[in-house]
Amino acid sequence: MAELTKYQQSIVKNYYENLDTALLQRVGEQVTDLYLAEGKKREKLWTSITGSLAKLGVPKSRIDQVHKSDDARKLAGLLQELLAKD
């Protein structure tokens, strides 16, 4: 594998430094989509959301609880908690 240039290294470094912010923004956008989604699209959204929440360090039990409820309002509440921490 080739060495990264300083410019590429800075891009990678900035990506990982801002990953939490990007994930929070993404989950926020997905909450809106979840209100409107039905069927397979809704399950696909939940899969993406649970993956993002896991990357943010949310305990699996909490993720499972919100997913099991299938309630976008509970997810929005969790998102508010995460934003307050950040």
Q: How high is the mean pLDDT of the chain?
A: 93
The answer to whether position 26 is within a domain reads yes
- Structural domain span for residue 72: 6-85
Q: For residue 1, what pLDDT is reported?
A: 59
- Number of domains, the chain: 1
Q: For residue 43, what pLDDT is reported?
A: 94
The answer to whether position 67 is within a domain reads yes
**What is the token pair recorded at 79?**
């998102």
Is residue 26 within 8 Å of residue 83, measured between CB atoms? no
Q: For residue 80, what pLDDT is reported?
A: 94
Is residue 34 within 8 Å of residue 72, measured between CB atoms? yes
The answer to whether position 1 is within a domain reads no
All residue ranges of the chain with pLDDT < 70 are: 1, 86
Among the listed residues 35, 33, 24, the one whose alpha carbon sits nearest the alpha carbon of residue 84: 24
**What is the token pair recorded at 9?**
């290294």
The answer to whether position 73 is within a domain reads yes
Q: For residue 2, what pLDDT is reported?
A: 76
| 3 three-state secondary structure | coil
